[in-house]
Amino acid sequence: MTLAPEAPTQPHDLQVRTDPAGKPLAIRHDGRIWVVDPDTESQHWYGRDVLRDTRRTAAVGSGDLASIEYWQVHVRLGTSDSALRTFTLRRNPLSTQWVLENISD
């Protein structure tokens, strides 16, 4: 017998607006716009997914295909004085789409 999840994991509708250097400024998530608080420090790093096999998905010379880009930003809902929340964003190599990895209060 195979068990299937009741609601398969689906990526949320996510759009990220960035400055020219690539730093997130605003995030549209689940129909709401979250603005990155300019008074907080964003964290930016690259990680690796050791299970990812990129040899079959790109031609030789395509660049760094193993580094996953991460941003951790502190956001507020709209321009209000709402509580800060922390979003962790991830973008896989060869992708233009961001994924919302985590939300914390």
At position 74, the amino acid (one-letter code) is: H
Residue 57 lies in a domain: yes
Residue 8 lies in a domain: no
The domain in which residue 35 lies consists of 14-104
Residue 31 lies in a domain: yes
Q: What is the pLDDT of residue 6?
A: 45
- Smallest CA-to-CA distance from 36 within 85, 100, 91, 99 is with 85
Residue 9 lies in a domain: no
Residue-level pLDDT, tens digit, the chain, 105 residues: 444 444 444 455 799 999 999 999 999 999 999 999 999 999 999 998 665 555 555 555 555 556 899 999 999 998 778 999 999 999 987 888 999 999 998
Residue 19 lies in a domain: yes
First-residue to last-residue Cα distance in the chain: 39
Residue 7 lies in a domain: no
Q: What is the pLDDT of residue 7?
A: 41
Please count the other Cβ atoms lying within 10 Å of the Cβ belonging to residue 58. Answer: 12
